[in-house]
Amino acid sequence: MKIIRAAIFFIVFLAWLPLHAGTPAPGNGGTAKPASPAAAPPPAAPTEDLPSVPAPQFPQAQSKLDGWKQTLDQIEAVLGAHVIDDAVLNNLRNRTAATQGEARDLISEITPPLEAATARAAELAPSPDATAPPSDDVKLERAKLLAEVAARQGIIQQAKLINVRAQQTIEAISDRRRAMFNDSVLQRSASLVNPTFWITAATAVPVAAGHLTDLLSKWGRVLASQPLRAASGFAIAAVVVLGFFLSPGRRWWSRWTKRDPEIASPSPLRKTGSAAVIVLADTALTAVSLLVLYQALMMLGVLPDDVSPIVRASFIGITFGFFFVRLTIAVLAPGRPTWRLIEMDNAAADGLISYAVLLAMVIAFGVVVDAINLAIRAPIELSIASRSVVAIAKALLFMGALRVAATTEADDETTPSPSTAVNKSAWRLLIPVGWVMAMAAILGPLAGYAALGRFITIEMVVVIAALMSFVLLSRFAAVLVNATFAFHGAVGRFLRQTAGLGSSAVRQIAAVLGGLVQLALIGLTAFVVLTTWGIRSDDLATSMSTAFFSIQIGNITIAPSVILGAVAVFIIGVVATRALKRWLEERFLPETSLDVGVRSSIGTGAGYAGVILATLIALSYVGLNLQNVAIVAGALSVGIGFGLQSIINNFVSGLILLVERPIKVGDRIEVGTRMGVVKRINVRATEIATYDNVSVIVPNADLISGQVVNWMHGSYSARLSVAVGTSYDADPDKVIAILLDIVAHHPRALKSPEPFAVLGNFGADALEFTVFFHVAHIGIDAGAANEVRLQILKRFRKEGINLPNPQRDLHVRDLDRIEALVRDLAGRDVAGRDLAARDLAARDLAEQDLATQDLAGRGLPGTERSAAP
């Protein structure tokens, strides 16, 4: 075992050396695809004397490069400042991203001409076998091409440098933004337990109230001065709301949002669709109405600039609060347990709705108060006090909700089903985490970290809303995909009737699409949760784009985009190979005079050659040097010499089994004395489950080099036989007719090929008959033989046909001597019995005499000693 481990380590080490040496150094500016061989300028021959030509100039491209360098220098200088506003960081990031995109566009623009010039220069290179030197015109053209290649490569190298600098600047901006977020969250403020803080906040209340009164009075004067415009704005919003309620959309909305509690088992589509419509329709109605009202007031000029932030924040808070309440109602379905999307008790669901409403009101109130403090420029103590009070109120409401959920589940004494228990346990894991976060949200403001307490409560609200949204959207998406791609669904029917796909292919497409949708929802949920941590969508998109094109791990660059491209090239090659193989086997080769064996060999060889060629092309697309593959193969041969022959033999045999498929999973095979069903084919061994429920692990080499009987290779149909013997008195024609009649009426026996029965042999004890018949699936219909035997037994008994037992005649020699010996033994036995009887009589008399003497000695009457006879 140690030798094998050492050999494997030696192989891996030898394989790593050439791959590591052949890995290009980083610094390609995020371009993951290796450069084409034509991209490098062809070196001039040692004896080649090229004329000197001036390098071509690209003033427009160079001007762009100089402008981008100046822009990045300015951005880096601004980033060096100690204090930067978040708006300034956003502006800097946008400028940097625009510079990076323009640099990448320039690289894409110059690369095709560079490759074309490189190819032409390579064609004009002198051949080593040429006897005559190239002409002066050829040398001049080649020199111009090489100069152009060098100039374009210089432009590309500068653009790549700009790309790298821009990416580093974007990362620096993201780091600066995260640092600012951490500083703001962990910023120390006055403690709520300090009386001085409350005194200062109380003195600031009258001043802030006066500013707010002045602001509202100003808005009132604007509305009073233009009453027609103000009324028009509110009228527009009212028209939008009434237009929805009076339109056919209201009926559609009512039909989907109505959840009848009498329905014991609503369909999955109706259940999830109703919840989705409740959230979407109600929230959209509120958001659209408030948005129309806000835009109408802005366009009509009746909303002052200093009041606009307060109104906008109020609308946002009301919309989110309404969304949170409707989402909770849609998921928990209070009073309607059959419509509930998560496993929860009725008491818990009903109790949590009240806390959701109160929490939504506190959220909306906190948003409006923050906007008012910002608009009136309230003192910092008043802002801290308001934020702390709102955070503590949220935390207390969360504690009450957690207590309701924990108490109702603890009081439930019923035994839930396994799936229900799993779902409940998953939700119960959030309860202790929620208690820890709620306690931290309360202790933070008390300890002087009001920003931390506010952040924790916001994070709790976002997490709860994101989880409930994920549950709703994931279930609705899964049901919608299944219903759409169902056998009678619109898309499923279209794919079957138009694209010619089978039902299994449509189901596979639905499964893949459903998985992609679930992954997208998981990523969206994670992104929504991470937004509260200072992560922005543009940063995430840039990171994902960079990671898609290039991932740097040490000195190795991994390009997922190139890997996906190579996989696509390989799949296309394999599909083309299978199409060519099918054309050869079905169209071309049958028209030739070649025999079946040669045609089969040609088709198989074409398939292997196509797969190998597709693999080589895919490896070349990735940029893997085939010389490294040869070195790895040499190292592998060294490992085989150390004692891995058996492992490599099984490995290669496993590949042959997977490619050639002489056996496949589910086949009924016989290997030696073992018969069973193939359960799993691995690269080293194959698992076979026998009918004794025993797993047999067979090395793949035994399946390739040994003799294997596959009952289901090529076709599941197989022929079964049942043998039976009858007495010699039976009519053979009648027996054969009975056997054929039994098989003909058996439901598992096929009509074609036609069953037949024969008189197989004249046995020592019976006439031996055999009936043959075919079944459609040997894996399912193998028990038909036993059923036929039972019917034969019942039918033979009914028809009076005997099933004879084996009969034997015993011939004994020297019978006279044996009879004399028996008589002699019998005489001796009689004499012995007489002698034994006399001895028994004498013993009885002696015992009687002793008894008489004993009685006489005691003086009992009638016991006188009698005279001896």
Please report the pLDDT score of residue 38 as a whole number. Answer: 39
Please report the pLDDT score of residue 422 as a whole number. Answer: 45
Please report the pLDDT score of residue 23 as a whole number. Answer: 38
Q: Cβ atoms within 10 A of the Cβ of 788, count?
A: 23
Please report the pLDDT score of residue 539 as a whole number. Answer: 59
Please report the pLDDT score of residue 831 as a whole number. Answer: 62
The verdict on pTM exceeding 0.75 is no
Instruction: Using DSSP bridges, classify how beta strands 551-553 and 756-762 pair: parallel, antiparallel or unpaired.
Output: unpaired
Torsion of CA 734, 736, 737, 742, to 10 degrees: 130
Edge-to-edge strand list for the sheet holding 756-762: 718-726, 767-775, 756-762
CA-based radius of gyration for the chain = 47
Helices (H), 623-718: 626-639, 645-660, 700-705
The half-sphere exposure of 372 on its side-chain side, counting CA atoms within 13 A, is: 22
Please report the pLDDT score of residue 820 as a whole number. Answer: 78
* DSSP code at position 867: P
Amino acid type, 285:
L
Regions in the chain scoring below 50 on pLDDT: 1-39, 44-46, 410-415, 417-422, 425, 855, 860-869
Q: Using DSSP, state whether 82 is helix, strand or coil.
A: coil
| Token pair for 632 | 């790895």
DSSP string, 779-807: HHHTTHHHHHHHHHHHHHHHHT---PPP-
| Token pair for 343 | 């496993």
Q: Which residues contact 491 (CB under 8 A, 6 or more apart)?
A: 484, 485
SS (H, E, C) 87-155: HHHHHHHHHHHHHHHHHHHHHHHHHHHHHHHHHHHHHCCCCCCCCCCCCHHHHHHHHHHHHHHHHHHHH
Please report the pLDDT score of residue 788 as a whole number. Answer: 92
Q: Which residues contact 792 (CB under 8 A, 6 or more apart)?
A: 722, 724, 738, 739, 742
Do the Cβ atoms of 185 and 452 come closer than 8 Å?
Answer: yes
DSSP string, 491-508: HHHHHHHTS---HHHHHH
Please report the pLDDT score of residue 359 as a whole number. Answer: 92
Task: Quick: pLDDT tens for 335-355.
Answer: 888 888 887 777 888 888 888
What's the angle, vertex CA 470, arms to CA 469 and CA 474, rounded to 5? 120
Please report the pLDDT score of residue 824 as a whole number. Answer: 78
Q: Which residues pair with 557 in a beta bridge?
A: 552
Q: Which residues contact 562 (CB under 8 A, 6 or more apart)?
A: 32, 33, 34, 621, 622, 623
Q: Which residues pair with 774 in a beta bridge?
A: 719
DSSP string, 571-589: HHHHHHHHHHHHHIIIIIG
Q: How far is CA 101 from the centre of its chain?
A: 34
Please report the pLDDT score of residue 548 as a whole number. Answer: 55
Q: Using DSSP, state whether 557 is helix, strand or coil.
A: strand
Task: Quick: pLDDT tens for 769-809.
Answer: 999 998 988 777 778 889 999 999 999 988 888 888 776 66
Q: Cβ atoms within 10 A of the Cβ of 865, count?
A: 11
Please report the pLDDT score of residue 758 as a whole number. Answer: 92
Please report the pLDDT score of residue 724 as a whole number. Answer: 92
Please report the pLDDT score of residue 742 as a whole number. Answer: 92
Q: Which residues contact 50 (CB under 8 A, 6 or more apart)?
A: 44, 139, 142, 143, 146
